[in-house]
């Protein structure tokens, strides 16, 4: 009863507070300002929605200080009046919500969804008297808002030419960004600059404010709408800039229609952005009744050889996807308990410049030297699942004409995971990968895959906006520069600081199929000008730092075989109970600890930029009543990424909840640790205490 009374008092006081209005005189015209307010559950975040002179704005304060100043809302249409003025408020509804839901897989198992909501119904006072609803949700870790076009007489079909949403910040903050409207989609190195120095950028956009807060501007539940980029304007303003169709229209829709949520995550420490699940919470719950077939896993692949030039996708002496080669990879996967094997180049029409072959790719016809029936049966007998591959060359018409047959073909051979690819500057040579046309296509494939009980790993994707909550078969995606850039990029590949940036940028949107695990750092004579710009220990740490439920061991089997460091890749899980960010400085270093969902084991990954680091971390998250063994994979004393990347120390020692780890990270290096309970097979007499080896 006390809780109910308290809730009623909160709602009542909020209603009273939200009746604030005042008259303002501007010359002879009497202007009325109405302010409606919603607070986060902890009251640190205050969102004000302002109706002034018939126009609607919003602003956000954090701990009584301005965070986002008065910012515009509204729309411009094709062949219709703008919907951004002459508004009155017809109704306001308030709601409070608090639940904990369970992910079928993820970086944590249980997520709390706790917010206060304000739903404002607006109506034009003249002309067509159109209706628009704006919903704001205030969480303890940020704000989400979206527009809703309800069914109404004076709007049926409509075309949006511009969404007028603004983010007017309180100062010229710094941001980490990649450019929008470029041919390589999201595959660019992140830059850091002031707002005043950026152009038009993709989200998620990570921001460090001048007073030390960390923000991320992104979107959630991108459904049948165009992707939002952000254009820099005057006075610290970022303007929503929707990716257009080839005819210039931004969004084509009919009522009723809802936009994606515009999201602003707020944290006092950069690591708290990583453990914010606001974007997931703004997506609809799981729509799939049965998720027993959806399983995170590690995999190897007939893939890296193509990037370093020892194998090819197309036909010839070096063709990678042969029956014999596939069997050898299956043997390796079975021997080392890898559940999956990716096979690229098994189908016809890869010859020549394959990225131009989108109109001729066939998805149910094998290359003459590859027997799908024989390979799939061999894999099944060995307990290995084949991961299929669909490279579309960004020709959507050709792919959609075949995709149902292609999914049925894979199901026939027991294949329930597919990596898709969309290499190409434009889809169908006309549309951006990130406009509404492709948003619709990517979702169509996700839904069709779910119908066929197929998991997806999408390369050249639309960015993640949390749809994996609704369709958990949407497992992982690329959407950034993966480790393949180390094999062939003309700029030398991903620099040492790259993986100290992407956990705070690209990975805030969702899992990233980065494809780590390169042991042959210098690549060999095939690629004399390229290499992996890390130490070996850092490659291992990436399995913890860079989250993906489908995690690849990317290098060639012969480079893993016999290397003691390979044990960490074999041991590390791809599904987690809990995630903790221990150290975090964007662009410099990061340490993450994750607990295995299926055991009591913990795994730690720590990486640095081009500078040597010494970091300390305690193990207070361990059970106080248990003794553990830490298996430590650390940079050796002479390790550095440029000249001695393979120097690695591998040790075992006893640790407990009182242990203080001292992490020594070489320049461009890292450290990976497995922490497990003592078991009966351990030779305890040979294992020292941590204090004796550090």
Q: Which residues are catalytic?
A: 484
Q: Please, which residues have CB within 8 angstroms of residue 194's CB and are 6 or more apart in sequence?
A: 172, 173, 174, 175
The count of other CB atoms within 10 Å of the CB of residue 95 is: 13
Contact yes or no for 180/201 (Cβ under 8 A): yes
Closest CA to 418 of 472, 340, 352, 338: 340
Return d(Cα 162, Cα 77) in angstroms, integer: 7
Q: Please, which residues have CB within 8 angstroms of residue 6's CB and are 6 or more apart in sequence?
A: none
Contact yes or no for 147/132 (Cβ under 8 A): yes
Cα 254 to the center of its chain, rounded Å: 29
Return d(Cα 325, Cα 331) in angstroms, integer: 10
Burial track 644-671 (b if 16+ CB lie within 10 A, e otherwise):
bbebbebebbbbbeebebebbbbbbbbb
Contact yes or no for 240/260 (Cβ under 8 A): no
The count of other CB atoms within 10 Å of the CB of residue 56 is: 22
Return d(Cα 207, Cα 213) in angstroms, integer: 8
Scan for tokens 């470029």, then name that residue: 182
Scan for tokens 């002479």, then name that residue: 638
Return d(Cα 177, Cα 618) in angstroms, integer: 33
Q: Please, which residues have CB within 8 angstroms of residue 48's CB and are 6 or more apart in sequence?
A: 35, 36, 37, 58, 59, 60, 61
Listing DSSP states for 182-193 in one string gives -TTTT-S--EEE
The radius of gyration of the chain's CA atoms, rounded to the nearest angstrom, is 26
The packing angle between helices 372-381 and 323-335, to 10°, is 10
Q: E strand or H helix at 380, and its extent?
A: helix 372-381
């Amino acid at each position: 009863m006390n809780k109910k009374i308290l809730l009623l008092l909160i709602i009542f006081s909020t209603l009273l507070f939200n009746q604030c209005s005042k008259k303002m005189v501007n010359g002879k015209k009497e202007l009325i300002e109405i302010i409606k307010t919603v607070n986060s559950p902890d009251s640190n975040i205050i969102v004000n929605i302002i109706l002034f002179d018939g126009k609607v704005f919003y602003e956000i304060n954090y701990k009584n200080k301005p965070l986002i100043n008065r910012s515009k809302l509204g729309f411009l249409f094709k062949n219709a009046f703008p919907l951004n003025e002459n508004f009155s408020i017809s109704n306001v509804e308030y709601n409070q919500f608090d639940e904990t839901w369970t992910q079928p897989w993820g970086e944590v198992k249980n997520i709390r969804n706790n917010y206060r909501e304000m739903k404002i119904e607006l109506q034009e006072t003249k002309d067509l008297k159109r209706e628009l609803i704006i919903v704001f949700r205030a969480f303890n870790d940020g704000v989400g808002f979206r527009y809703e076009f309800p069914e109404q007489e004076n709007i049926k079909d409509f075309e949006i030419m511009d969404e007028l949403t603004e983010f007017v910040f309180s100062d010229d903050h710094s941001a980490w960004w990649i450019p929008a409207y470029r041919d390589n989609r999201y595959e660019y190195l992140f830059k850091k600059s002031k707002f005043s120095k950026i152009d038009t950028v993709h989200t998620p956009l990570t921001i460090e404010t001048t007073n030390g807060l960390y923000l991320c501007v992104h979107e959630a539940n991108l459904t049948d709408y165009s992707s939002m980029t952000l254009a820099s304007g005057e006075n610290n303003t970022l303007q929503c800039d929707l990716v257009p169709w080839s005819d210039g229209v931004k969004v084509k829709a009919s009522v009723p229609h809802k936009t994606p949520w515009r999201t602003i995550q707020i944290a006092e420490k950069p690591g708290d952005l990583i453990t914010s699940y606001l974007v997931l919470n703004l997506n609809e719950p799981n729509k799939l009744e049965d998720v027993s077939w959806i399983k995170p896993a590690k995999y190897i692949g007939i893939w890296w050889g193509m990037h370093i030039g020892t194998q090819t996708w197309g036909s010839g002496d070096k063709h990678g996807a042969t029956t014999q080669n596939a069997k050898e990879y299956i043997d390796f996967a079975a021997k080392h308990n890898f559940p999956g094997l990716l096979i690229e180049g098994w189908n016809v029409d890869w010859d020549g410049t394959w990225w131009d072959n989108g109109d001729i790719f066939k998805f149910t016809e094998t290359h003459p030297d590859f027997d799908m029936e024989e390979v799939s049966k061999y894999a099944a007998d060995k307990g290995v699942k084949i991961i299929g591959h669909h490279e579309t060359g960004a020709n959507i018409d050709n792919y959609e004409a075949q995709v149902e047959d292609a999914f049925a073909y894979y199901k026939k051979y027991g294949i329930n995971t597919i990596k898709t690819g969309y290499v190409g500057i434009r889809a169908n040579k006309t549309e951006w990968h990130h406009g509404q046309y492709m948003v619709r296509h990517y979702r169509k494939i996700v839904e069709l895959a779910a119908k066929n009980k197929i998991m997806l790993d999408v390369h050249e994707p639309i960015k993640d906006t949390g749809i994996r909550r609704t369709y958990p078969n949407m497992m992982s995606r690329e959407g950034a520069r993966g480790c393949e850039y180390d094999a062939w990029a003309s700029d030398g590949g991903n620099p040492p600081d790259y993986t100290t940036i992407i956990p705070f940028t690209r990975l805030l949107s969702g899992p990233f199929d980065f494809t780590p695990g390169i042991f042959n750092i210098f690549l060999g004579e095939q690629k004399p000008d390229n290499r992996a710009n890390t130490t070996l220990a850092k490659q291992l740490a990436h399995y913890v730092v860079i989250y993906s439920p489908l995690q690849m061991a990317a290098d060639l089997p012969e480079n893993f075989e016999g290397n003691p460091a390979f044990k960490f890749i074999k041991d590390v899980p791809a599904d987690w109970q809990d995630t903790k960010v221990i150290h975090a400085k964007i662009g410099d270093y990061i340490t993450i600890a994750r607990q295995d969902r299926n055991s009591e084991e913990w795994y730690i990954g720590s990486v640095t930029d081009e500078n040597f680091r010494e970091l300390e971390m305690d193990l207070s998250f361990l059970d106080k009543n248990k003794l553990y063994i830490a298996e430590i994979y650390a940079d050796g004393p002479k390790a550095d990424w440029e000249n001695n990347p393979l120097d690695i120390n591998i040790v075992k020692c006893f640790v407990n909840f009182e242990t203080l780890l001292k992490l020594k990270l070489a320049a461009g290096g890292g450290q990976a640790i497995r922490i497990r309970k003592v078991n009966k097979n351990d030779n305890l007499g040979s294992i020292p205490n941590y204090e004796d080896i550090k």
